[in-house]
């Protein structure tokens, strides 16, 4: 009875504390929202749109798993809403220009290229674009180079030194702790398994990664060359000398226009819009500008082109922001199939792949939408590879962007064997009794038998053949031809187009127009609607408070710091006994 009352009163106390915490959060949110509402009733004359893009930019607004909540931020603006707002600012008489203050960017080259194009288009209005930073990473400089004037702090630098990609290999570490990894894969280029079976890149994987980085870097240099009026050869020389590493040599190399402090740059902006030195400069951040310009929908237009964002790794299971979970996407596809207003679907894929089973389920669901007579057009983002390409095979037409990484058509499985770790390192032994040859199959504490090994390899190759057949059907190719260009190999968008894996090089807007054309819709007689529905940051925060598992993950992330990526890799390893269709490289390059 004593224990009962202890637990009872502890439970009541916990509930009261939770309610107080929740109440405090609601008060803070209310105060913040009221402040933001009063600030954003209208954009004042002679305002300047400020782009501070250091945070992650998702494809779809708020489609991100937030590790923390910022009470001053109502939304995490997605790339396509961001571009729409820049287009709006182009013709907004209250906005005089754009001020880019990004020191680093957390976005891939496709998103940066789209954003850069929007800034260049903004300049055609005659309005100015000015960039300033204490320092520029390569991604931030790529964006800033589109400005009319690029300024740098006198003690700053431009991290202009070429692209690289690094892969962590775990084989030696696993050998030392007594973990054997059984790897099964189909295709010479399925590099996602290499960290567990090799100590360095294979020649095949090195070759394809080098080709991809070279392609990205060439496009990067060509764009910077056009904006800064510096030849590509000169830019390569500047990069090889790392002239950007010093503010003065960055200036003499023409990477920037002048060395100034922040207040001096703001003074220049004031002069551009006719303000006195002591006048207040109205800088409008993108979140405030979005709040002041909410989306409007003309519901009189009945016909809809659905834009479905599929961003993140592909997993089995329930919905989670920033992840492609098969169950909610299958359910969404069913709704689109039976919604009479939806005449066509654009599936925006930005994924390195993941679970082959989940990829198959999503592929089939959207194939059924197509079977219902609704065209499906695929729009590829930074990458639509492996499982990402699998679900893209549901489309009637595939668009990729210049910087898109695609292909990686292959399958693998990984089984960790902990026998040596448990027996020799820790001192725990296991024994078993079983009723059949496969009764203890996939038990990590026993060696895999030759019969089990053969079964796994056969199963992996069978899944690979299914993957090939999906692509062959979608691209109207003989399966032998698909195999030649598959085998886990990654391709640039231009190579993928020449090989028949992609139809057109174009952005999301081009894909939407193509979908409307396939559905025989006139330009002014349809509207777009975005899916899936995404929780706002406040709702995510409330869910996180009561999500013990998510709280534990955040605690582990905070404790491990930079080593958290290795912890994630270990968790991934544990879950790879099922067939995987994943990209071989997701390391962070120096392009950001």
- Measured between alpha carbons, how far is 376 from 396 in angstroms, rounded to an integer? 5
- Measured between alpha carbons, how far is 291 from 73 in angstroms, rounded to an integer? 11
The H helix count followed by the E strand count for the chain is 22, 20
Is 190 an active-site residue?
yes
Number of neighbouring beta carbons within 10 Å of residue 331 = 12
Distances (CA, A) of 490 to 377, 385, 541: 21, 7, 37
Q: Exactly one of 190, 374, 419, 497 is catalytic; name it.
A: 190
Query: Taking a C-beta distance cutoff of 8 angstroms, is the pair 369, 333 a contact?
Result: yes
Local structure of 304: helix, strand or coil: strand
Q: Exactly one of 239, 313, 379, 386 is catalytic; name it.
A: 386
Which residues lie closer than 8 Å to 486 by C-beta, 6 or more apart? 187, 407, 409, 410, 467, 468, 471
Is 386 an active-site residue?
yes
Query: Taking a C-beta distance cutoff of 8 angstroms, is the pair 505, 380 a contact?
Result: no
Question: For residue 363, what are its two tokens?
Answer: 């592929």
DSSP assigned state of 357: H
Local structure of 100: helix, strand or coil: strand
- Which residues lie across from 315 on neighbouring strands? 325
By CB atoms closer than 10 A (0-12, 13-18, 19+), residue 563 is: exposed
Query: Taking a C-beta distance cutoff of 8 angstroms, is the pair 344, 369 a contact?
Result: no
- Measured between alpha carbons, how far is 47 from 280 in angstroms, rounded to an integer? 10
State the chain's maximal CA–CA distance in angstroms.
88
List residues with catalytic annotation.
Answer: 190, 386
């Amino acid at each position: 009875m004593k224990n009962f009352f202890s637990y009872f009163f502890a439970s009541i106390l916990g509930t009261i504390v939770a309610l107080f915490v929740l109440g405090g959060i609601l008060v803070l949110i209310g105060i913040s929202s009221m402040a933001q509402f009063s600030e954003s009733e209208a954009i004042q004359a002679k305002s300047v749109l400020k782009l501070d893009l250091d945070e992650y930019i998702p494809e779809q607004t708020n489609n991100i798993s937030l590790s923390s909540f910022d009470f001053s931020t109502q939304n995490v603006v997605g790339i396509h809403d961001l571009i729409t707002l820049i287009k709006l600012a182009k013709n907004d008489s209250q906005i005089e220009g754009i001020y880019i203050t990004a020191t680093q960017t957390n976005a891939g080259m496709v998103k940066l290229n789209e954003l850069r194009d929007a800034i260049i288009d903004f300049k055609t209005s005659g309005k100015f674009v000015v960039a300033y930073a204490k320092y520029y990473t390569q991604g931030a400089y790529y964006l800033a180079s589109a400005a009319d004037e690029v300024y740098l702090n006198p003690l700053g630098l431009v991290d202009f030194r070429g692209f690289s990609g690094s892969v962590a290999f775990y084989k030696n570490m696993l050998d030392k702790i007594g973990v054997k990894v059984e790897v099964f894969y189909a295709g010479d280029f399925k590099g996602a398994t290499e960290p567990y079976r090799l100590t360095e890149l294979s020649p095949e994987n090195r070759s394809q990664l080098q080709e991809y980085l070279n392609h990205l870097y060439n496009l990067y240099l060509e764009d910077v060359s056009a904006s800064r009026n510096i030849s590509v050869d000169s830019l390569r020389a500047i990069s090889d000398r790392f002239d950007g590493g010093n503010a003065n040599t960055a200036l003499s190399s023409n990477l920037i226009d002048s060395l100034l402090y922040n207040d001096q740059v703001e003074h220049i902006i004031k002069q551009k819009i006719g303000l006195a030195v002591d006048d207040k400069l109205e800088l409008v951040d993108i979140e405030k500008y979005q709040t002041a310009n909410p989306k409007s929908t003309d519901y009189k237009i009945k016909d809809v082109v659905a834009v479905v964002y599929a961003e993140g790794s592909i997993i089995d299971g329930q919905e989670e922001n920033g992840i492609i979970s098969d169950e909610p996407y299958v359910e969404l596809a069913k709704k689109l199939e039976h919604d009479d207003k939806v005449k066509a679907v654009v599936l925006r894929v930005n994924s390195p792949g993941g679970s082959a089973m989940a990829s198959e389920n999503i592929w089939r669901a959207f194939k059924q939408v197509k079977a219902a007579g609704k065209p499906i057009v695929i729009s590829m983002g930074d990458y639509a590879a492996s499982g990402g390409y699998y679900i893209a095979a549901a489309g009637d037409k595939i668009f990729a962007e210049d910087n898109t990484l695609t292909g990686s058509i292959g399958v693998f499985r990984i089984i960790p064997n902990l026998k040596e770790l448990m027996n020799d390192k820790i001192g725990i032994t296991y024994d078993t009794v079983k009723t059949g040859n496969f009764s203890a199959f996939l038990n990590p504490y026993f060696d895999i038998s030759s019969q089990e090994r053969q079964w796994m390899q056969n199963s992996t190759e069978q899944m690979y053949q299914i993957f090939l057949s999906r692509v062959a059907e979608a691209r109207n190719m003989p399966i032998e031809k698909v195999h030649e260009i598959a085998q886990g190999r990654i391709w640039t968008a231009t190579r993928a187009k020449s090989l028949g894996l992609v139809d057109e090089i174009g952005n999301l807007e081009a894909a939407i127009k193509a979908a409307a054309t396939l559905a025989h819709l006139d330009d002014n007689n349809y509207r777009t609607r975005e899916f899936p529905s995404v929780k706002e940051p406040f709702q995510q925060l409330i869910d996180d408070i009561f999500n013990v598992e998510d709280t534990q993950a955040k605690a582990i992330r905070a404790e491990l710091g930079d080593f958290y990526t290795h912890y994630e890799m270990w968790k991934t390893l544990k879950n790879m006994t099922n067939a995987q269709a994943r990209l071989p490289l997701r390391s962070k390059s120096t392009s950001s």
